[in-house]
Amino acid sequence: MPQFYYDHDHLYSPDPQKTVEWYMRVFGAKKTGETKTPRMNLIHMDINGAHLIVAGPFQGEFARAKQTEQYVGLDHFGFKTENLEEAIKDLKAKGVKFLQDLTVTPSGGKIAFLEAPDNVRIELTERP
C-alpha cells in the first residue's frame, strides 16, 4: 500500500501578498518562495514545518468564466507520495473518485486530485 505524508494547504486570496503578510505577522510564517504559472501566481510559506500556499486570482485563459466573485479560502490540502501512479491505482481500487488524473507539472512533478467526503478536494503529489 502506498504511504502518504502531509504536504500542504492551498488558499486562494484576492490579495495574496496581504494574506501572506498577515500569516507572517500573526503566526511567524516565513516566505519560502514564489511560483509563477500561466494559471496563477503562488506564494509559499512555512509555519514551523507546515507548508502553506497562497494563490491569487486565476489569470488569462484559466480565469473562471461566469463567476462574479473570485473564490477565496481553503481550496484543498495535499499529500505527497513516492509513487503517484501506484497510489492512484490503489485508491481507484478502493472506489475513490478522481477529479483530475495524473498531470505532470512544469517543474517535472506529478499531481492528481481526488474527492473526499463532503466535497473536500485532496491533491496528491510526487515531487521530482
Residue 24 covered by a domain = yes
Q: Is residue 82 domain-resident? A: yes
The CA distance from 95 to 22, in Å, is 40
* Cα 9 → chain centroid: 6
Its pTM surpasses 0.75: no
Q: Is residue 66 part of a domain?
A: no
- pLDDT given for residue 98 in this prediction: 94
Residue 37 confidence (pLDDT): 81
Could you tell me if 122 and 75 are in contact, meaning their C-beta atoms sit under 8 angstroms apart?
no
The CATH number of whichever domain residue 44 belongs to comes to: 3.10.180.10
Q: What's the domain range around 104? A: 5-61+71-126
When the pLDDT of each residue in the chain is averaged and rounded to a whole number, the result is 86
CA dihedral 46, 113, 124, 22 (to 10 degrees): 10
Q: Give pLDDT tens digits for 94-111.
A: 999 999 999 998 889 999
pLDDT of residue 66: 36
Total number of domains in the chain: 1
pLDDT digits (tens, 9 = 90+) for 12-38: 888 889 889 988 997 889 999 999 887
Q: What count of other Cβ atoms lies within 10 Å of the Cβ of residue 34?
A: 11
Residues written for the chain: 128
Reported confidence tier of residue 69, pLDDT bands at 50, 70, 90: low
Give the model's confidence band at 62: pLDDT under 50 very low, under 70 low, under 90 confident, else very high.
low
